[in-house]
């Protein structure tokens, strides 16, 4: 099973590195055990999204710095840490995410930073 997971990881990294118009999506939630989690996904029009990482945020969800650290670690894990393949970042709009978007945009000045508004 580990061999299959490694093969899929290598394939996902190779595919993600070839894409040049990715949008970074970040969202957080709590699991049934009340642990805070943050998911980071790379998405592109007409392509399957790529899960970059899932990070534990218990005790840190109110910290934009920790969210930046977790998202950077997810990007690094897929060899996309320099941000060159991304054109946009999308998050929801709590205060901590507003701060995160500002910090992210300071590091990656060319990436468009947008918020996702729930329509339901």
The structural domains of the chain, with segments of one domain joined by +, span 2-115
Answer for the pair 53, 115: CB distance below 8 angstroms, yes or no: no
Average pLDDT over residues 61-89: 90
- pLDDT at position 117: 60
CATH 3.30.420 is right for the domain spanning 2-115: yes
Residue, of 15 and 72, whose pLDDT is higher? 72
Tokens 């534990």 — which residue? Answer: 56
Is the model's pLDDT at 120 over the cut of 70?
no
Structure tokens at 116: 């996702």
Q: Residue 16's Cα: distance from chain center in Å?
A: 13
Q: For the chain, give the mean pLDDT.
A: 86
Average pLDDT over residues 105-114: 92
Is the model's pLDDT at 100 over the cut of 80?
yes
d(CA 37, CA 29): 6
pTM (two decimals): 0.83
Residues ≥6 apart with Cβ < 8 Å to 92: 27, 115, 116, 118
Is the model's pLDDT at 118 over the cut of 60?
no
Structure tokens at 21: 């118009």
């Amino acid at each position: 099973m580990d061999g299959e997971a490694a093969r899929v990881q290598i394939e996902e990294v190779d595919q993600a590195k070839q894409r040049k118009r990715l949008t970074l999506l970040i969202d957080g939630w709590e699991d049934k055990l009340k642990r805070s989690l943050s998911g980071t996904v790379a998405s592109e029009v007409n392509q399957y999204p790529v899960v970059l990482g899932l990070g534990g945020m218990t005790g840190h969800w109110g910290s934009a710095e920790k969210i930046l650290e977790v998202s950077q670690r997810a990007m690094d894990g897929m060899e996309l840490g320099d941000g060159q393949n991304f054109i946009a970042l999308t998050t929801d709009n709590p205060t901590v995410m507003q701060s995160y978007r500002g910090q992210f945009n300071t590091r990656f000045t060319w990436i468009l930073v947008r918020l996702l508004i729930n329509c339901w």
